[in-house]
Amino acid sequence: MCGIFGISGHKEASRLTYFGLYALQHRGQECTGIVTYDGKENHLQVGGGLVHDVFQEKDLSALVGEYAIGHVRYGSAGNRGVRSALPLSVRMAGGLQLAIAHDGKIINAPQLRKELEDEGAIFQSNSDTEIFIHLISHRLRNLSLEEAILDACKKIEGAYSVLILANGKLIALRDPHGFHPLLIGRMPDEKHSYVFASESCAFDLLEAELIRDVLPGEMVVVEKGTEEIVSYRFGEGTPVRQCIFELVYFARPDSTIFGENVYQCRKRMGHTMVREARQEVDCVIPFPDSGIYAALGAAQEAGAPYEHALIRNHYVGRTFIQPTQSMREFGVRVKINPVHSMIQDRKLMVVDDSIVRGTTVRTRVAKFREIGAKEVHFRVSSPPVLHPCCYGVDFPSSEELVAVHHSPEELRQELGLDSLHYLSIEGLMSTVSCPNSYCAACFTGVYPTALPIAE
Ligand code: SF4
């Protein structure tokens, strides 16, 4: 999973892209990059780490031009390090300067890469994104840029929300299933300055107006100096399958994506989860920060006070991305401190948005018992994660997914819980306005595409 941001026709393009990426930092912390176009050439800077570590004042001043795209990357298996940083920027035959930033995963990448290499293409990286460049470049011999991109999309299967900067044209596209979000906005008082971002929280920071989603199977083109956007459709007839895990876990609660306000959606998950498995408790407490919004809904539904009994140290990263088992357990301890008075002699309903490996839950429930909790009832605002994702979300392997090897009752016993309930898939889908337009394959095993063939 990654975050992308782009802007057209603004004299502060690099600085605004920096702030846009800042707002999207939760979508990727491994590396980041910005490309600008100054009317003659592209300027690129990428680096490993957080946005504020990679870009200093002098870097933003050197990224000149009124057009920019940027990217934050979440390191995934087989794709770590600065060599995988995006955007990519290339000069093509005929002088076309093309830069590209991509969120998602191309599931037929190995086949496409082999076909392109057989035709003479030389790849500079192992990133899926380079496949776009080679496919577009081949087609540019006979087609316009827009036609070349649309024709390349016919070959590509999988998840892609993409921004392309090409000699002052800013192009945004989303795969026909629409797996990952991409939104269109407009800068205040700048009619010809459009912004694109993975989530609306990036627009809020810039006081940009949210216009709408780039639709699944839509390519949007902003021409230099024009106020209009031109829309092209492709992949007609493909069922829309937006990633439900974006609403459960990834997106920021202050964002609107897929037409849903993430905060309200998570609260509805909490309400529904409690309606499915009621329990009398003294208080409802979230696992910070991931369980907060579902716990708010759960507390309202349960008629019990919402309390914070676990206080986060905000300077430690997510346990989800720690590399080794021993470091993860250390990470859990260093990151959260319990408030004893909220736990001792009380019946607790503890809420989180998912259980992936189970490491965090195990450590914290043991701590609640040690402190003297009377009862611990665990509620999860999504169904058990049972299957891998092929569309760019880097779950642990099946061996590491705790729900694959434990039924809810086995897990309840192993974790020493008084009760455990996962939100049902029907319950989850009841919290969104168009339930048939979502992918939930990591919960159900029903994949909207053919599965990728191993490399
Ligand atoms: S498999 Fe899960 S994480 Fe992957 S796109 Fe589908 S819902 Fe999202």
> What is the per-residue pLDDT across 228-241, written as a single tens digit (0 to 9) for each?
899 999 999 999 99
Under the banding of pLDDT at 50, 70 and 90, the label for residue 79 is: low
Q: Is 243 in the pocket of ligand 1 (CB under 6 A)?
A: yes
Q: What's the pLDDT at 76?
A: 62
Choose one of 429, 439, 446, 447 to mutate for the ligand 1 pocket test, by most ligand atoms within 8 angstroms of C-beta. 439
Active site residue 2: yes
Q: Is 429 in the pocket of ligand 1 (CB under 6 A)?
A: no
Cα(203) to centroid of ligand 1, in Å?
25
What are 354-382's pLDDT values in tens digits? 988 888 888 889 999 999 999 999 999 99
Choose one of 247, 385, 393 to mutate for the ligand 1 pocket test, by most ligand atoms within 8 angstroms of C-beta. 393
What are 376-420's pLDDT values in tens digits? 999 999 999 999 899 988 887 888 888 999 999 999 999 999 999
Dihedral sign, CA of 73, 78, 81, 83?
Answer: negative
Q: What's the pLDDT at 454?
A: 58
Q: What's the pLDDT at 450?
A: 85
- What is the C-alpha to C-alpha distance for residues 241 and 156, in angstroms, rounded to an integer? 16
Asked whether the predicted pLDDT for residue 433 surpasses 90, the reply is yes
Q: Where are the domains of the chain?
A: 2-240, 264-432
Q: Is 389 in the pocket of ligand 1 (CB under 6 A)?
A: yes
What are 153-169's pLDDT values in tens digits? 999 999 999 999 999 89
Residue with tokens 């776009």: 132
With a CB cutoff of 8 Å and minimum separation 6, the contacts of 421 are 273, 276, 277, 377, 378, 379, 380, 408
Cα(386) to centroid of ligand 1, in Å?
11
At residue 424, the 3 state secondary structure works out as coil
What are 282-324's pLDDT values in tens digits? 999 999 888 999 999 999 999 999 999 999 887 765 544 554 5
- What is the C-alpha to C-alpha distance for residues 401 and 358, in angstroms, rounded to an integer? 8
322 touches 331 (CB < 8 A)? yes
Q: Is 440 in the pocket of ligand 1 (CB under 6 A)?
A: yes
Atom of ligand 1 nearest to the CA of 390: 4
CATH fold match for the domains 2-240 and 264-432 = no
Under the banding of pLDDT at 50, 70 and 90, the label for residue 330 is: low
Q: What's the pLDDT at 395?
A: 81
What are 173-187's pLDDT values in tens digits? 999 999 999 999 999
Q: Is 67 in the pocket of ligand 1 (CB under 6 A)?
A: no
Asked whether the predicted pLDDT for residue 81 surpasses 70, the reply is no
Cα(178) to centroid of ligand 1, in Å?
11
Annotated catalytic residue, options 2, 153, 201, 265: 2
Q: What's the pLDDT at 357?
A: 85
Cα(385) to centroid of ligand 1, in Å?
10
Instruction: Compute the average pLDDT of residues 57-79.
Output: 88
Under the banding of pLDDT at 50, 70 and 90, the label for residue 328 is: low
213 touches 181 (CB < 8 A)? yes
Q: Which two tokens stand for residue 81?
A: 């390090």
What are 98-134's pLDDT values in tens digits? 999 999 999 999 999 999 999 888 888 888 899 999 9
Residue with tokens 């909220």: 342
Q: What's the pLDDT at 87?
A: 95
Asked whether the predicted pLDDT for residue 13 surpasses 80, the reply is yes
130 touches 179 (CB < 8 A)? no
**pTM for this entry:** 0.92
Q: Using CA positions, which residue lies closest to atom 5 of ligand 1?
A: 243
Regarding beta strands 169-174 and 218-222, do their DSSP bridges make them parallel or antiparallel, or are they unpaired? antiparallel
Q: Is 439 in the pocket of ligand 1 (CB under 6 A)?
A: yes
For residue 325, CA distances in Å to 219, 291, 399, 411 come to 43, 22, 13, 19
What beta strand segments (E) does 92-246 contain?
97-106, 158-166, 169-174, 183-186, 194-197, 209-213, 218-222, 229-233, 242-243
- What is the C-alpha to C-alpha distance for residues 25 and 220, in angstroms, rounded to an integer? 24
With a CB cutoff of 8 Å and minimum separation 6, the contacts of 278 are 302
Q: Which two tokens stand for residue 73?
A: 């990357």
Asked whether the predicted pLDDT for residue 455 surpasses 60, the reply is no
Fold of 264-432: Rossmann fold (3.40.50)
Q: What's the pLDDT at 80?
A: 59
For residue 155, CA distances in Å to 173, 176, 238 come to 15, 12, 14
Asked whether the predicted pLDDT for residue 82 surpasses 80, the reply is no
Instruction: Compute the average pLDDT of residues 57-71.
Output: 96
Q: What's the pLDDT at 166?
A: 95
Cα(365) to centroid of ligand 1, in Å?
28
CATH 3.60.20.10 fits 2-240, yes or no: yes
Cα(88) to centroid of ligand 1, in Å?
25
Choose one of 105, 106, 245 to mutate for the ligand 1 pocket test, by most ligand atoms within 8 angstroms of C-beta. 245
What are 252-272's pLDDT values in tens digits? 999 999 999 999 999 999 999
pLDDT above 70 coverage of the chain, percent: 94
